Amino acid sequence: MLRNSFIATLTFAVIHVLPALGENTTMTNNLKVLVSSNDFPESGLEVLRKHFTVLQSRFIHFGEEGITENKEELLNLIPGCSGLVWVSHHPITKELLDKAGPSLKVVATASAGYNHCNLDELKARGIKLANTPNVLSPAVAEIAVGLILGAARRFTENLDQVRRGEWEIGFNKVLGQDVRGSTVGIVGLGGIGQAVVKRLAGFEVGKFVYTGHREKPEGKALGAEFVSLDQLLAQSDFIVLAVPLTSETKHMINSTTLAKMKKNAILVNVGRGDLVDQDALYDALKNHQIYAAGLDVTTPEPLPKDHKLLTLPNIFILPHIGSATVRTRSDMGVLAANNVVNALSGKPLITPVLE
């Protein structure tokens, strides 16, 4: 009798518990997450597929394709989606958010910057926003170092010599600037700025200075001195821009700030193109008001092949490849995916911008 009672109780528990578990799994899988581009890393997709029904655009979400075929597909796919993974340099439009409707709870941008994410609209609709900082800092810092070397050692001119097969041979030909013994100024000592200082430490830099809203304990640990922006501009041989684009930082490098730099100064931008007034930069470089510039970011992107900056010999430009390594892009994809998982399972965002 006791044994029969035990079996009956166990059977009752299995019958009632298993459907409940199944229902929870089905509820999770029924949540839809839209990935905006066809080139999102597989590592990130694997994370999302474990939890949700994943919809993904068939098109790349960059350049002309991103504002034609991709745009129309996203408008068709987003209704009813609970999460959106934004893999693009194009802005999130009000039209897209209207199409998403009230079901959209979270946007995860696969980027450190989020100026393209329409913060006002997301905040007004109560939609959470996450980004992918820190995981890309090492890779972007490596590009910053590359731009420093490329601009200082006149890579644009020297590569042109190689392509033409006409080398300027001589003891005093195409001489560059030394990093050794220089003063390097970091505008924005966040994750990227700190990673730049760490990587340049082996170059025998004479002094590191930085500026920002406040002095940071990390600066002291790295041996970097906190100064005002004006002091940094006046002292630095190399100036590295590593701040996000905001209303405060837009065109922070302009004719006025360029005039405060040393004649041998080299400007490096790994933040966003609009940190720099490019017309003012063109004039400063053309007139040899500053020595050179190295840019991984421009306005617009891609920079037109006939843009006047590309006519200058003292500028070294890369096509926004700061985070473009296999490992970094995979890490960004996984972090973006896990932010969506957390948001839709009631957990805090890992890297929140809006909560």
| Res 248: pLDDT | 95
State yes or no: pLDDT of 252 exceeds 80.
yes
Is domain 31-133+327-354 classified as CATH 3.20.20.70? no
CB 340 within 8 A of CB 346: no
The question of whether 320 is a catalytic residue gets the answer yes
The confidence score (pLDDT) of residue 66 equals 86
What is the pLDDT at residue 63? 86
Q: Which of 73, 41, 46 is nearest to 59 (CA)?
A: 73
Write the single-letter amino acid at 93.
T
Q: Is the per-residue pLDDT at 20 higher than 70?
A: no
Catalytic, out of 51, 61, 90, 320 = 320
**Integer Cα distance of 82 and 100 in angstroms:** 8
What's phi and psi for 200, nearest 5 deg?
-85, -10
Q: 267: which 2 tokens?
A: 């400007």
- At 63, which amino acid appears? G
Name the nearest CA neighbour of 291 among 255, 261, 269. 261
Share of residues in the chain with pLDDT > 90 (%): 88
Does an H or E element contain 15, and which? Answer: helix 2-30
What is the sign of the dihedral through the CA atoms of 136, 137, 142 and 144? positive
What is the CB neighbour count within 10 angstroms for residue 170? 8
Asked if pLDDT for residue 224 goes beyond 50, the answer is: yes
Band of residue 28 on the pLDDT scale cut at 50, 70, 90: low
CB atoms within 10 A of CB 217: 7
302-354 per-position pLDDT tens digit: 999 999 999 999 999 999 999 999 999 999 999 999 999 999 999 999 999 99
Query: Are 90 and 61 spatial neighbours (Cβ–Cβ below 8 Å)?
Result: yes
Alpha helices in 236-318 (DSSP H): 255-258, 278-286
Tens-digit pLDDT profile for residues 283-300? 999 999 999 999 999 999
Q: Check residue 253 and report its DSSP letter.
A: B
d(CA 286, CA 292): 10
Start-end of CATH 3.40.50.720 domains in the chain: 31-133+327-354, 137-317
Compute the residue count for the chain: 355
CATH of domain 137-317: 3.40.50.720
Span of 47-51, 65-69, 101-105, 179-183 with lowest mean pLDDT: 65-69
Tokens, residue 99: 């199409």
107-154: per-residue pLDDT in tens? 999 999 999 999 999 999 999 999 999 999 999 999 999 999 999 999
| Terminal C-alpha separation, the chain | 57
The dihedral formed by the CA atoms of 77, 79, 81 and 84, expressed in degrees to the nearest 10: 60
Whether 37 and 70 have beta carbons less than 8 Å apart is answered as yes
Task: Judge contact between 212 and 246, C-beta under 8 A.
Answer: no
Token code pair at residue 285? 């470089």
Separation between Cα atoms, residue 176 and residue 182, nearest integer Å = 13
